[in-house]
Chains A and B, each alone.
Chain A
Amino acid sequence: MNILVCISQVPDTTTKITFSENNTKFNENGVQFIINPYDEYALTRAIEIKEKLGGKVTVINVGKSSTEPNLRKALAIGADEAIRVDAEPADAYYVAFQVAQHAKGFDMILCGKESIDHNGGLVPSMIGELLGIPSINVAVKLDIEGNTAIMEHELDGGKEIIECPMPFVAGCQKPICEPRIPNMRGIMTAKNKPLLKKEPVSVETLTHVTEFLLPKPKESCRMIIPDEAEKLIDILQNEVKVI
């Protein structure tokens, strides 16, 4: 199995988000960047499949050199090779287009179901369309049987078990696997694994962030004493009118 895993780097989940330059930029000051948690599922599942069936796992990222530590981490977890397309990821289409340039010849392309910074959930399906192959936007289970993949596709009111020919793209979500942390041997061998830098191709983008906004701060919380818990029902019904 020849597997490509798309990795984006995102602010650590504990990050308190702030914006700078008149609310047009994400403030990176003091922010620690991690591999997008969903992409860790994709990566670990790819490595598990490789360990079972043989093959190779390549990770790809569209980003500037600051993403290299996280690509090394992916190599330490068990990927064999990394590709970094040296560009600022302008939007989902831009990313998908760059990835598609390097995605031919793989049996499957695994992504996260969405990045926890942009929350677009767009890149995997776009790669599928660019390559003309099936895309499963949320896969919670993935197994290979011969020449087909058996996946569980998450739906709003349940899930469906599907059979999909290769190659395909899937956006991974728990409980597809348990993510792994790198061990000492992994960290040592990662140093000598290839991390290739590629130049981007030019693409026109059709979406532009013009401003960021923060949620309105909550007014202070109104406390109800437990012995009068019934009051809550009264308030919700007659005052706030939500039940």
Chain B
Amino acid sequence: MSILVYAENTDGFFKKSTLESLTYAVDLSKKGNESVTALCTGNISAENLKTLGEYGTSKVLYCKDERLNSKPVVPLVNLLEKAAIEEKSSVIIFSHTSTGAGIAPRLAVKLKAGVASNVISLPDSAEEFSVIRGVYSGKGFSRLKLTGPVKILTIKGNSHEVKKSPVDCSIVDFNPSLDSNDFSVKVKELVKTSGKVSLKEADVVVSGGRGMKGPENWQIIEELAGLLKAATSCSKPVADMGWRPHSEHVGQTGITVGPNLYIAIGISGAIQHLAGVNSSKTIVVINKDPEAPFFKAADFGIVGDAFEVVPRLIKALKERKN
């Protein structure tokens, strides 16, 4: 028996979300005395493959098929099915990335497995396989019990702290034949929002709302975010008015984030906004209105004008850096 992890890579590197999933798998393996196998695909250097061993992977199945570089869903589902059968996997783990979230449900249907997405806890025990996941867009949680011999989970970003646990790791080429008919979806163009910290993975998020008055004022948000190595996000109206891209919209109808630190600047704190950010570990609110509802959900608050407070924070951070 084994726990299988789809170790997703980005241009040959394993991101934090993958290491979180591996750590989750290792912690889970201790409950049922199982080993952790990782499946990875595409062009990855031998050196990078070896890093998986540092995070507790005893076996890496490596499929170098170049056609998998763009992470096509159906071929990956079929590859994972083959790996799961060969490894007799009882649990299969994904990070809740766009790719992981697209593969896991199909694999569950294929393997007749119970599936839970956006999981934030380890199961209570190997026998009673119940996990906690967010529901009602962050306004609540459910304990979901999975039955059946195979279980599939996608792990919510930032919910399981990365730990190293080095083991001997064997790297095995895994190249089952893949049906060319499965590659019917073609990628014509890849657009990367490069150089910036990805919102779902960020430890710190700096977010601006309508109180920022206009897109031209985002420079101070960007500067603060840069100093904190943070991702930037915004409220829904800000994205709707085109001040910021839709991919930055957080909340009930946007992206749900749960960083260690969320700084909300000029955001009132409507229930739909809070739903997407209230799993953040620490929340700071900067708003000129002392009655803004966001203060009720905050750990730290400053009642003041963003255009005075934010530059002061930037100045203080710069002084500290020197």
A-side residues, CB < 8 A to B, are 11, 13-17, 19, 26, 37-38, 92-93, 96, 116-126, 128-130, 134-138, 140, 150, 153-165, 168, 174-175, 206-215, 218-219, 221-226, 229-230, 232-233, 235-237, 240, 242-243
Interface size on B (CB < 8 Å)? Answer: 98
B123-175 contacts to A (CB < 8 Å): 130, 132-148
Q: Which of B73, B203, B313 counts the most chain A CB atoms within 10 A? A: B73
Contact call B193/A157, Cβ cutoff below 8 A: yes
What are 6 contact pairs spanning A and B, CB under 8 A? Answer: A13-B137, A121-B118, A157-B198, A161-B191, A223-B300, A232-B302
The one of A17, A150, A207 in contact with B116, judged by C-beta atoms closer than 8 angstroms, is A207
Query: Assuming the A-B contacts A16-B271, A116-B253, A130-B109, are A233 and B313 also in contact, with contact meaning beta carbons closer than 8 angstroms in the complex?
Result: yes
Binding site for A on B (CB under 8 A): 10, 70, 73-74, 77, 97-99, 101-106, 108-110, 112-118, 130, 132-148, 184-194, 198, 200-201, 203-204, 228, 239, 246-247, 249, 252-254, 256, 260-261, 271-272, 275, 278-279, 281-285, 295-305, 308-309, 312-313, 315-317, 320
Q: Which of A117, A159, A225 contacts B135 (CB 8 A)?
A: A117
Among A15, A96, A223, find the residue whose CB has the most chain B CB atoms closer than 10 A. A223
Number of A-B contacts (CB under 8 A): 258
Taking CB atoms, residues of chain A closer than 8 Å to B313 are: 229-230, 232-233
**Nearest A residue (CB) for B310:** A229
The CA of A160 and the CA of B187, in the complex, are separated in Å by 7
B130 touches A221 (CB 8 A): no
Pick the contact of A96: B109, B191, B283 (CB < 8 A).
B109
- Which residue on chain A has the smallest CB distance to residue B199? A156
In the bound complex, residues from chain A placing their C-beta under 8 Å from that of B312 are: 226, 229-230
Which residues of chain B are within 8 angstroms of A130 by Cβ–Cβ distance?
A: 109
- Given A26-B136, A226-B308, 9 more pairs with CB closer than 8 A: A19-B140, A129-B106, A135-B73, A164-B186, A165-B185, A175-B246, A210-B145, A213-B143, A236-B261
Chain B residues whose C-beta falls within 8 Å of the C-beta of A230 in the assembled complex: 312-313, 315-316
Do residues A126 and B109 form an inter-chain contact, with CB atoms below 8 A?
A: yes
Complex-state Cα separation, A163 to B183, whole angstroms? 11
B252 in contact with A162 (CB, 8 Å):
no
A160-B70 contact in complex given A210-B144, A211-B143, A233-B320, C-beta closer than 8 Å:
yes
Name A226's closest neighbour in chain B (CB-CB): B304
Q: Which residues of A contact B193 (CB under 8 A)?
A: 157-158
- Whether A232 contacts B136 in the complex (CB less than 8 A), given A223-B302, A226-B304, comes out as no
